Amino acid sequence: MASKKKICLVFLGNPLQDSRLTNLSNSLRQDGFAVSVIGFDWFSLKENHFEKDLKIFRIRKSRFSLFFYLTYNLLLIRELLKEQANVFFAEDLYTLPVVTFFAKLKSAKVFYNSREIYAYIGGLHSRPIVQRIITAIERFFIKKVDLVMTTGWMDSEFLEKFYSLSKTSVVRNIPLYQKAEAKVDFRKLYNIQDDKLILLYQGVLIPGRGISIVIEALSRIPNAVFLLLGDGDQRENYKKLAHKHGVSDRVIFAGSFTQKELINYTSAADVGLSLIENISISYYHALPNKLFEYIMAELPVLSSDLPQMKNIVNTYKVGEVVDLENHRLIIDLLNKWTNDKEQLSQFKSNCQQASKELNWQAEYERFRGDLFSHI
């Protein structure tokens, strides 16, 4: 049955740098579906990237967001006019309206991958008019889809209540079970001394992820280096902040990498930081892929004291959680870790055990029955 069906996934982002989409599309192919992916990039690519069953369009993004979204929608409409699929995945809110329209036009099913509580993401916490517009758009289209997927139980409970949905399906952002085969030597690459603790942030460089908190604290954590894997609109602002606090020599912007290579970079650090700030409902519900990627890479985790992340960290004993309002505690804890190799070693061992359970293969197998019942 699966071999006769085609699935098209659409994402406003670079699919090569998105583990959720990469893992899902590969698992669908392994289940016998013909899968095509359409993505859009405005950070890392200099030109369009096309390969078999994958199209990534490079779009310019400037101060004028209207032009960006107009270009994106015109490209998407053009591609969906040509696309013949049995099931369309709208991989975020931004693709939901157009993808839903074309799925209905083509008598296909449409699945909505709700990665956030979009009306309440961090960047909108002081923009109530925009929140209301997004809520109205999502409320209209979410009732027309065949399956709503979320990244955690709290998001599912919220959406089911908020939009009066009967059922959603939880698929957490968990990486494939894999271990580094060619670990990068950060110390050699960036001339980092052996006594320095390498603190890693992995993901998009945007506000609300604790990046500024760590940069500002770094002057009081002398034996640590802060390394960022990823890119985003705030990169230059974070560079300026590091310069302002006199820590530019210990804040390293390493750039972005594909999901295939990422484990070799992630595992080369000493501590993984998942310090999401409680500035919105969506962030309060956070259960980000970086948390699970750190665990897979066997990195001790320092996490925000937010409910879903706290539950994972404490259940599997893979690190510690902190109140981000208490900057002194963050500084003291990281300074303690620079000298407590035994504790870090225990966390690392716990990560190794947790990764046998917290992996994409197990997560997809749990979700697979729900997926097939809707296809």
pLDDT in tens, 139-188: 999 999 999 999 999 999 999 999 999 999 999 999 999 999 999 999 99
E strands along 47-134, which residues? 49-51, 54-58, 87-90, 109-114
CATH number for the domain running over 2-174+359-374: 3.40.50.2000
Instruction: Dump strand ranges (E) for the chain.
Output: 6-11, 34-41, 49-51, 54-58, 87-90, 109-114, 147-150, 169-170, 197-202, 224-229, 251-255, 271-274, 301-304, 319-322
Q: What is the pLDDT of residues 218-254, one digit of tens each?
A: 999 999 999 999 988 899 999 999 999 999 999 999 9
Comparing C-alpha atoms, which of 144, 145, 116 is closest to residue 281? Answer: 116
Distances (CA, A) of 131 to 67, 127, 145, 236, 343: 21, 6, 21, 27, 43
pTM of this structure: 0.88
Q: Which of 19-28, 61-70, 287-296, 338-347 has the lowest mean pLDDT?
A: 61-70
Per-residue pLDDT at 64: 65
Neighbours of 167 (CB within 10 A): 9
CA angle 100, 84, 61 (to 5 degrees): 60
In 3D space, the residue among 122, 114, 107 whose CA is nearest the CA of residue 279 turns out to be 122
Q: Place domain 186-354 in its CATH homologous superfamily.
A: Glycogen Phosphorylase B; (3.40.50.2000)
Q: Which amino acid is at 293?
A: E
pLDDT at 43: 80
Range from 59-68, 125-134, 305-314 carrying the lowest mean pLDDT: 59-68
Enumerate the CATH 3.40.50.2000 domain ranges in the chain, comma separated. Answer: 2-174+359-374, 186-354
Give residue 349's identity as a one-letter amino acid code: S
Amino acid at 93: L
Question: What is the rounded average pLDDT of the residues 315-331?
Answer: 96
Rounded CA-CA distance 310/314 in Å is 6
Q: Output the pLDDT for position 3.
A: 56
pLDDT at 1: 47
